[in-house]
């Protein structure tokens, strides 16, 4: 028993345990990444329903990528001796009027994620939680790429307008577009 108490004291004294506030923020972000995955999966279903199979495949791949983002946070929480908490996630929006509207919604969602990641990194830095700040730098860089990717898709959709032929070629390109661009 004495050795266990000594271990706990040393563990707490070493500063390796996350503060409760940071655990809550990381859990919130983890659940937001889970929601992102479900959102993109739902968007994929809309695309399939409207015969945009390339966009559907792209969004399915992106949904899987968002699950890996969630898993990274889950693993970080576990690795730091914290308890990941998966919450109930609200149903994602499912109705869009066009492919352009759908991808504008993805871009806005990625901007929200960027804001949340930046706030999280700021909280880690100001609380001198440098390991968490370092961990979050991957997300900061990833969000730059996410916004760039979705902005480029919106730009192409804007160029195509409502042209069936233009949308066909964009959909075809999306089928092979790497989510890691």
Residues of the binding site for Fe cation: 33, 66, 69, 110, 143
3-state secondary structure the chain: CHHHHHHHHHHHHHCCCCCHHHHHHHHHHHHHHHHHHHHHHHHHHHHHHCCCHHHHHHHHHHHHHHHHHHHHHHHHHHHCCCCCCCCCCCCCCCCCCCHHHHHHHHHHHHHHHHHHHHHHHHHHHHCCCHHHHHHHHHHHHHHHHHHHHHHHHHHHHHHHCCCHHHHHHHHHHHHHCCCCC
CA separation for the pair 167, 179 (Å, rounded): 19
In the annotated binding site, the residues are 33, 66, 69, 110, 143
Tokens of 45: 């279903």
């Amino acid at each position: 028993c004495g050795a266990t108490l000594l271990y706990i004291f040393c563990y707490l004294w070493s500063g390796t345990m996350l503060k409760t506030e940071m655990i809550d923020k990381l859990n919130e972000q983890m659940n937001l990444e889970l929601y992102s995955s479900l959102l993109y999966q739902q968007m994929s279903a809309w695309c399939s329903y409207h015969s945009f199979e390339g966009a559907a495949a792209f969004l399915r791949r992106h949904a899987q990528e968002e699950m890996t983002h969630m898993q990274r946070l889950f693993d970080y929480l576990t690795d730091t001796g914290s308890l990941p908490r998966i919450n109930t996630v609200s149903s994602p929006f499912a109705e869009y009027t066009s492919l352009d509207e759908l991808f504008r919604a993805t871009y806005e969602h990625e901007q929200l994620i960027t804001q949340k990641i930046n706030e999280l990194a700021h909280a880690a830095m100001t609380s001198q939680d440098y390991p968490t700040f370092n961990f979050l730098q991957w997300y900061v860089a990833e969000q730059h790429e996410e916004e760039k990717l979705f902005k480029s898709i919106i730009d192409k959709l804007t160029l195509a307008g409502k042209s069936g032929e233009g949308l066909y070629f964009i959909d075809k390109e999306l089928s092979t577009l790497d989510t890691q661009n």
